[in-house]
Amino acid sequence: MNPDARRQLPSVDRLLRDPGVEALFATVPRNVVVVAVREALEAARSSRAGPPEDWAAEIAERVQEHTTRSLQPVLNATGVVLHTNLGRAPLAHAAALAIQEVAEGYSSLEYDLASGARGQRADHCRTLLAELTGAEDGLAVNNAAGALVLALNSLAQGGRVIISRGELIEIGGSFRIPDIMGKSGAVLQEVGTTNRTHVIDYQNVIDGAAAILTVHRSNFEQVGFVTSPSSEELAELAHSRRLPYLHDVGSGLLLDLSPWGLSSEPRVQTAVSAGADLVMFSGDKLLGGPQAGCLVGKREVIARCRANPFARALRADRFTLAALEATLGLYHDPEVARREIPVLRMLTLDEAELDRRARALAALCPPVFLPQVIPGESAVGGGSFPGARLPTSLVALNAGPLGAEGLAVRLRLSQPPIIVRVAEGHVLLDPRTLLESDYPAIKAALQAAVEG
């Protein structure tokens, strides 16, 4: 911008007295407005475009940027149930309520109400975890990656841990089993091949080892010429040498979802009854609870994990424990769990209901988008049931001159943000991961997009 225009920029004080800017003080603290004014002036000074035509609008926009939270609720229209980038599992109402109840006040986090003395944080989900999985004892920590570090460090620091080459996996977000094992202080002992590992492979190196570990191949499937020993066989081998057998099952599936065509994930109870000394899983995958890492297993093994100083570094906070306890409580009745836990409810929606919901949503979409109900598939996501097919009904929108990506951006920037799928030039909305109460917001966002 030329020096003349720069000299003509208004002062901070003058902008603060602008009626449009002054009006912001009614809802926003004064210093936020001052920061926005300074930024707007700085931008005008350094931009080639020069000062904005409407200072008040420019400042209001910057104030808005400063006051919207970066972590905010969004509507998930992608049909990916456990969407890792969208917070994985939405919580059951009971779990959300439990968080709220301990959030604003004090709680019995580490307080024993019967004796009036110090209690143990680690006791909170202990009994429920054990009861529901058939294990002797349980412990909840911050997340499952942390649970694995804690287990390996507690049981195998400096020792060799035997694992199949077919299980040296990457979970995502730079979480790789070999790296985690290294950081935990355990020494990785790879056996077998990518596709085939036999009991004898483990037997050959077991002398002097510290543990045997199985990691569930959560996010991909192996088909064809593949084999691996059963958990029972590995538990028996480990126990014959008085070693612990550890099993990371990943998703924390407790219900039998095979009636809904979902049968490839190991259930926690099955892993426990196969004889594992320690079974680890996430709280916010198929369990449908808060981010957490659950450890269940033999009393003595859990005790060693609990006594490790890392347990303090990885401890769950009161919100996690409250939500996990409430979520686990719903599993006392499997039908209640399926109905009340959003992840399970979404995964078990029937096709007729999905079709009905897609039609109801399509009927609300502005006709200019030529909404159509078409068959499609949802995904479980979160590295669970990678091969599963979940038939659904999608609402396909023709975005016209906006283009599908253009419409997707507008929906993303609306309030609340709406995250959609784009395929073959269409915007696709999957009712599986939406609530019917979300539809008015979608309608409004689409209408706003039409109006520009």
Q: Tell me how far the alpha carbon of residue 170 is from its chain's centroid.
A: 16
Find the part of the chain contacting ligand PLP (CB under 6 A) among 42-50, 210-218, 354-362, 406-414: 210-218
Task: With CA atoms as reference, report the closest residue to 424 among 361, 374, 364, 378.
Answer: 374
305, containing H or E segment: helix 299-307
Helix (H, G, I), strand (E, B) or coil at 140: strand
Q: Name the residue nearer to ligand PLP (CB basis): 218 or 231.
A: 218
78 binds ligand PLP (CB under 6 A): no
Q: Which is nearer to ligand PLP, 182 or 403 (CB)?
A: 182
Burial of 259: CB neighbours in 10 Å, binned 0-12, 13-18, 19+: exposed
* x/- map, 284-323, ligand PLP, by CB under 6 A: ---------x------------------------------
The two counts, helices (H) then strands (E), for the chain are 20, 18
Give Cβ neighbours of residue 287 (< 8 Å, ≥ 6 apart).
89, 251, 252, 253, 254, 281, 294, 327
Tell me how far, at minimum, the Cβ of 320 lies from ligand PLP, in Å: 11
Q: Which is nearer to ligand PLP, 133 or 218 (CB)?
A: 218
* Residue list 8-67, contact with ligand PLP (CB under 6 A): none
DSSP classification of residue 135: -
| Under rule CB under 6 A, residue 383 binds ligand PLP | yes
Fill in the amino acid letter for 43. A
Among 83, 124, 216, 357, binds ligand PLP (CB under 6 A): 216
Q: Which of 63, 81, 125, 145 binds ligand PLP (CB under 6 A)?
A: 145
Work out whether 218 is an interface residue with ligand PLP (CB under 6 A): yes
Cα→Cα distances 324→32, 87, 215, 289, 443, Å? 38, 15, 23, 6, 34
CA 310 to chain centre: 23
3-class state of residue 163 by DSSP: strand
Q: DSSP characters for 328-396? A: HHHTTSHHHHHHHSHHHHHHT--HHHHHHHHHHHHHHS-GGG--EEEEEEEEEETTSSTT--EEEEEEE
> Cβ 30 to ligand PLP, closest distance in Å?
42
Q: How far is the CB of 250 from ligand PLP (least distance, A)?
A: 3
Q: Cβ of residue 142: shortest distance to ligand PLP, in angstroms?
A: 8
Minimum Å distance from CB 176 to ligand PLP? 11
* C-beta of 160 vs 216, nearer to ligand PLP: 216
CB of 243 to ligand PLP, least distance (A): 21
How far is it, in rounded angstroms, from Cα 257 to Cα 341? Answer: 13
Least Å distance, CB 259 to ligand PLP, is 23
**In the complex, minimum distance from the CB of residue 125 to ligand PLP, in angstroms, rounded to a whole number:** 15
Shortest Cβ distance from residue 216 to ligand PLP (Å)?
A: 5
Beta carbon of residue 110, minimum distance to ligand PLP (angstroms, whole number): 24
**If you search the block for the tokens 């460090």, which residue do you land on?**
153
Structure tokens, 439: 């539809």
What tokens were used for 131? Answer: 């009861």
User: How far is residue 39's CA from residue 9's CA, in Å, rounded to a whole number?
Assistant: 13
Between residue 228 and residue 287, which ones bind ligand PLP under the rule CB under 6 A? 248, 250-251, 282
* Per-residue contact flags (x/-) with ligand PLP for residues 341 to 380, judged by CB under 6 A: ----------------------------------------
Nearer Cβ to ligand PLP, position 51 or 266? 266
CB of 141 to ligand PLP, least distance (A): 10
Residues 6 or more apart in contact with residue 123 via CB below 8 angstroms: none
- Sign of the alpha-carbon torsion through 160, 162, 168, 169: negative
Cβ nearer to ligand PLP, comparing 282 with 393 = 282
Asked if residue 151 lies in contact with residue 294, where contact means CB atoms within 8 angstroms, the answer is: no
Residue span binding ligand PLP (CB under 6 A) among the ranges 74-82, 202-210, 212-220, 334-342 = 212-220
Q: Which residue of the chain is nearest ligand PLP when measured via CB?
A: 250
With respect to ligand PLP, which residue has the nearer C-beta, 189 or 291?
Answer: 291
Please report the sign of the dihedral spanned by the C-alpha atoms of residue 145, residue 218, residue 201, residue 240: positive
Per CB under 6 A, the list member of 76, 78, 143, 392 interacting with ligand PLP is: 143
Nearer to ligand PLP by Cβ, of 320 and 393: the residue is 320
CB 326 within 8 A of CB 178: no
Residues of this chain that interact with ligand PLP (CB under 6 A) are 143-145, 171, 215-216, 218, 248, 250-251, 282, 293, 383
